[in-house]
Amino acid sequence: MKLKDLRVSWRQLLNEPAYSLVVILGLAIAIAATYLIALLLNDRWLPDPAVPAPQQVARMEFKGNIPGRDDDWFQGSPYVFRNALLENKAPITQSARVAEAELSLRVGERLSKNAVLFADADLAPMFGLKALKGDVSAALQKPDTLVLTTLAAERLFGAGQEALGQRVRMSGQEMTVAAIVPVQASNSELQFDALASFESPASGIMAQGMDKAWYMIAGRVFVRMADGSSTEQLGQLMQSIFDRSPGTLEVPPEWRAGGRKAAFTRAVALTRLPFDGAYSATRLMLYSALSAASAMMLALAAINYVNLSSVRTLRRQREIAILKSLGASPARIAAQFVFESSLVALLAGAMGLLLAWLLAPGLADLLDVKFASKLFAPMQLLSLFLGCLALGALTGLYPARVALGVHCAPALQGRKQSEGKSGRNLRRAMTVLQFSAALCLSGAAVMVVWQSEYVARLDLGFKTQGLLALDLPEGLKPEQTDGLYEALQRHPAVQALSWSEDVPGRNAVGQVDTMDNGTTRAGVRTGRFDLGFFKVYQIPLLAGSLEGIVLPEKTEPGVDRPLAIDLTAVKALGFASPQAAIGAQLKVGNDGWRVKAVVGAIKQESARNIAQPQVFRLSKKVRNVLTLKGTDMAALRAAVSEVWPRYLPDTVVEMRGVEEQLAQRYRLDRNIGMLIAATSLIALLLAGFGVYALAAYTVRRAALEIVMRKLHGADHRHIAGLLVKEFAPLLGIAAAISLPLIWWAGRQYLGGFVEHADMGGWPLLAALLGTLLMTMLAGLRHGLAAMAMRPILALRD
């Protein structure tokens, strides 16, 4: 191909700026989306390159087997698994427990919140953690040493300052920085700012006995398998160990009656985590949907280009005929059109790269991921370049075919030629595909957005407006928590406040116990709360009273402790009415509890799970979460910022609105809905461009028929009918293909929810009306042109 051909192609694009803008922008958007999704999949599905032999590193996973529930696998497992595997001589060469915490680190006046991992020393060689300074393995063997990332060190000590050997205060413990490591890749299983020994006093793990509990999941256990061993073998061994362990005795007898397993365990290799690990099904569904959407956008953009380019090629018949008359070979003419489409694809690729760079932060935020691969890495750019060339060659084949079909004599005489019946049918088929894609994406967007809005407005049985939750760190002294509570209670911005074990609804699983009222046993969700909890969260009292209840300082033998239950628990425990439950004794093992109040049913589970019976253990010792109620959230935050440093000067305050925290449960669904809606809008626009091209070609091809009808008295209605006759069957075929697919996909999506909106056929109708409106707008210009066509000009042509 000569430089002259490049200039010809470039001039063609400059001579028709509207056409060039439409095709390049359409392809650029599709290329940007495809490029970003390809990078995302590359990051998510490939293990961290720093890990030696990642297929030999496995994560132990745990799944409870609670009657009446079908919980997913947990990413973590009990810490005791590590010692159990070592004691039973499992085929492993390295093992490490990993606990995660958000802790405040202080250096002088500098105080910052950091993601801290507490781990065993084997973690360093297992994950290939290389120190820029110091020794990671040695640091993890001492209880008072710390590993910092370069970013954390800069945040704590300042840019350019030496951090190695310096002292850092964490959870009341003085720690020495013994190693500096680079920030881990975003696809690494280990994301941290600081790393410390699992047995460090700062972790609090040993003090709480979590390292010995068989049925408590507080972190993760990683192992490196010996050569020749497999994850199946390791998982079976761990299941056998657990079935014989004290862990089977930590659950109620009915959970293991009839040989029922108390829980399940398995091992999943790092290389298989994206496909087989805990929560992988949701992520795979998301990534598959994103891949399908980006591929669909690319196909639509390519079809749009082929349609517009074909119409443009038919307008260039005289130019093509002249080239043929001057001796241009078929190969030369075909190459010219392929080269033009390749130039368009490369320009679109360059613009797509710019769009990808601009959109990457927003996409990462929407999907709650990070991009490990760099947008401008040489291999990625080479792949993009080759992909654009392939796209250009593919989309240039059909316009080249149309050009080769031009006959010289009629074209030079000014007689217009068509692309033939087969060509028309091919482009109609492509338009049907565009309509189908637009319908599918529009229907899916309506369903996801509708469901997201529906679940966000579900009645949970408690109020969240005007509530600010403070998460307190472990190990605080009573004078700190009591002083904070009393100071905030006196503040004018605070109307009420309460202690609780957690923000209700934030944990979708929670703690489950089996309670017995003498005649009925039922699994109930339990938690610890103080008496002010019900007032702060505005939970209605149905029976009994919360007034005058004395909360014991400690458990006394033979004395039943007070509790409240919700309406769902009343029914589950077999009480005839809320009033009948008042005064009843409930037992958990040998511990006795007395029902003092019954409140309205609350739902802490998400819309994907059935609401569990809820029991509130009333306690004055719970100090995990402090919730404040007020009319002005800004004033509440100011009050906390004012009081907090007096009592917890070494801790960064963590305060978030309760309403905001519960909304996070559906954040991914809402964001996916937004992405699908944006994709469907782009698909509609691309389909509109396709309709525009087909309408232009239809009017051009039927010009003689239109003017003859006009000469015989046809009005505008009859002329518009020609276009309706062209597009109505195509839209009908697309609807017949797409609407069943939308209905099926909607059933699959909504089937994952216990509570879902009653949408009926509205999403189907909305998708159809949206596509119909876009079709009408796209064909309007050429429809008006057909109605205004002057017979004398058409007959002269």
pLDDT for residue 432 is more than 80: yes
d(CA 641, CA 738): 55
pLDDT at 1: 46
* More confident of the two residues 400 and 465: 465
Residue 305 exposed, middle or buried by CB count within 10 Å (0-12, 13-18, 19+): buried
How do 585-588 and 561-566 pair as beta strands?
unpaired
pLDDT at 172: 79
Q: Model confidence at 709, in pLDDT bands (50, 70, 90)?
A: low
130 and 178 part of one domain: yes
35 and 107 part of one domain: no
pLDDT at 267: 95
pLDDT at 160: 80
Residue 422 lies in a domain: no
Q: Are 444 and 438 in contact (CB under 8 A)?
A: no
> Which range of residues forms the domain containing residue 229?
66-261
Residue 272 lies in a domain: no
Give the residue-averaged pLDDT of 245-265: 80
How do 541-544 and 511-516 pair as beta strands?
unpaired
pLDDT for residue 154 is more than 90: yes
d(CA 606, CA 661): 13
d(CA 317, CA 313): 7
Token couple for 263: 């829980």
**604-642 pLDDT per residue, tens:** 988 888 888 999 999 888 888 999 999 999 999 999 999
**3-48 pLDDT per residue, tens:** 566 666 677 677 777 667 777 888 898 899 889 888 888 877 888 8
Write the Ramachandran bin of 545: left for phi over 0, alpha for psi from -120 to 50, otherwise beta.
Answer: beta
702 and 647 part of one domain: no
pLDDT at 372: 63
Residue 361 lies in a domain: yes
pLDDT for residue 66 is more than 80: no
Q: Looking at the 3D structure of the chain, how many domains does it have? A: 4
Q: Model confidence at 452, in pLDDT bands (50, 70, 90)?
A: confident
Give the residue-averaged pLDDT of 248-266: 80
697 and 643 part of one domain: no
Q: Model confidence at 409, in pLDDT bands (50, 70, 90)?
A: low
Token couple for 702: 């039927």
Residue 267 lies in a domain: no
State how far Cα 82 lies from the chain centre: 31
Cα first-last separation, the chain: 35
287 and 329 part of one domain: yes
What DSSP string describes 121-132? TTHHHHHT---S
Residue 270 lies in a domain: no
* Lowest-confidence region among 31-40, 209-218, 310-319: 310-319
Give the residue-averaged pLDDT of 556-583: 89
Q: Considering Cα of 213, then 215, then 220, then 225, what sign does the dihedral take?
A: positive
439 and 523 part of one domain: no
Q: What share of the chain is helix, strand, coil (3-state, %, to 5)?
A: 55, 15, 30
HEC assignment per residue over 592-606: EEEEEEEECCCCCCC
**Could you tell me the pTM of the whole model?**
0.77
**321-352 pLDDT per residue, tens:** 777 787 778 888 888 888 888 888 999 999 99
d(CA 383, CA 373): 13
- Which domain-ending residue is among 204, 228, 261? 261
Number of residues written out for the chain: 797
pLDDT at 596: 94
Give the residue-averaged pLDDT of 739-767: 86
d(CA 286, CA 283): 5
Q: What mean pLDDT, rounded, does the chain reach?
A: 84
* More confident of the two residues 328 and 54: 54
* Lowest-confidence region among 139-143, 388-392, 427-431, 437-441: 427-431
Residue 425 lies in a domain: no
616 and 499 part of one domain: yes
Give the residue-averaged pLDDT of 163-187: 90
> What percent of the chain is predicted at pLDDT more than 90?
36
- Which domain-ending residue is among 386, 417, 448? 417
Q: Are 234 and 155 in contact (CB under 8 A)?
A: no
pLDDT at 141: 93
**765-789 pLDDT per residue, tens:** 888 888 888 777 766 665 666 565 5
pLDDT for residue 118 is more than 90: yes
> What percent of the chain is predicted at pLDDT more than 70?
87
Rounded to 5 degrees, what angle do the CA atoms 21, 321, 312 make? 20
486 and 624 part of one domain: yes
Q: Are 666 and 753 in contact (CB under 8 A)?
A: no
